[in-house]
Amino acid sequence: MTKRARLIYNPVSGHEQMPKNVSDILDILEQAGYEASAFRTTPAPLSAQNEATRVAKDGFSLVVAAGGDGTINEVVSGIAFLPKEERPRMAIIPAGTTNDYARALKIPRDDVVAAAKVILKDKVQKMDVGRADFGDGSQKYFVNIAAAGSLAELTYGVSSDVKSALGYAAYLIKGAEMLPNLSECEMRLTFDKGVYEGKLSLLLLGMTNSIGGFEKIMPNAELSDGLFQLIVVKPSDPGNLLRLMALALNGKHVDDPNIIYTKTTSLKAELIGHNRDDKLSVNLDGEEGGMFPVTFENLRERIEFYVG
């Protein structure tokens, strides 16, 4: 029986490099033993996600997501909810600016054709997928990070143009710019090893070691252990927060008394106190996810990925 592969690519990711490389990537998929075809995403909402669901239900063996972290998230979301027998393998071709998930999977990030050639090595690993269940009954998925709190804007508030021009420095500049206007959220967080009730500046729930291009913020990440890494940053004065940012670049922040750091299979997060009725959103893989309250579950080894 012929194995079929579908390349789902975002034509405007990064520097619009994908369209001119589609034929080479399809050739590589054919070399890997797949009957290959391509789908160019459109500006329509959930274009990549809907296509991923369609081809998975049609029996495709492999879905290749080519684009930035947002495109990868959409493709994952299109297949993560399906029963095991309908979930195809995935491969990723990073064509965005940060490419956190590609970094974690050891996929080449500066050459889309080289990234496709990872498939020829036929090395795969089952990866965890995070699911967020929101109070309105909706569900969303993520493979890299969930974030909330006033500092969470660092994960999505830097424009692609600025990231392309300045790289990691863009995040430091954005962080310094945000410090004078930081606010605090009062939350109840229920996780495997306990409960935290109090104020916080940032909630991070990570699945890989790469956040915004930094590889030491989640220093003990494993990709298929069924565990999230939970980081809570307690409120502090601006000077101390700048110090914590500097520590985070070197992975030295997890022992700081202003930080809660633990691993957990799930997390229930709800606003309490004077924030109880506030509208606070959760960021998933760099995109707006949904509103609090939210319960996160780690779906262990949910999707099999080609890895470098």
CATH number of domain containing 90: 3.40.50.10330
CATH number for the domain harbouring residue 178: 2.60.200.40
Question: Considering only 1-10, 103-112, 208-217, 272-281, which range has the smallest mean pLDDT?
Answer: 208-217
Same domain, 19 and 138: no
Q: State the residue range of the domain holding 69.
A: 2-121
306 lies in a domain? no
Both 117 and 187 in one domain: the answer is no
Bigger pLDDT: 299 or 254? 299
Whether 304 is a known active-site residue: answer no
Residues 242 and 266 in one domain: yes
For residues 234 and 279, state if they share a domain.
Answer: yes
According to DSSP H, which parts of the chain are helical?
Answer: 22-31, 47-57, 69-79, 100-104, 112-117, 160-166, 169-178, 238-249
Q: Is residue 21 part of a domain?
A: yes
Domain end, chosen from 59, 89, 121, is at 121
C-alpha 221/C-alpha 242 separation (Å) is: 24
Q: Give Cα 158 to chain centroid, integer Å.
A: 15
Whether 91 and 146 map to the same domain: the answer is no
Q: Judge if 115 and 137 occupy the same domain.
A: no
CB 78 within 8 A of CB 104: no
Average pLDDT of the residues in 145-168: 63
Same domain, 199 and 281: yes
Q: Domain tally for the chain?
A: 2
Task: Tell me if 308 is assigned to some domain.
Answer: no
Average pLDDT on 281-297 reads: 92
Catalytic residue among 270, 287, 297, 304: 287
Write the CA distances from 290 to 36, 179, 180, 184, 237, integer angstroms: 35, 24, 26, 19, 29
- Together in a domain, 79 and 135: no
Block residue for tokens 């033993």: 33
Residue 149 lies in a domain: yes
Among residues 121, 151, 186, the one where a domain terminates is: 121
Mean pLDDT of the region 202-227: 80
Domain presence at residue 258: yes
Predicted confidence band of residue 253 (pLDDT cuts 50, 70, 90): confident
> Would you state the pLDDT for residue 169?
57
The pLDDT confidence band at residue 62, using thresholds 50, 70 and 90, is very high
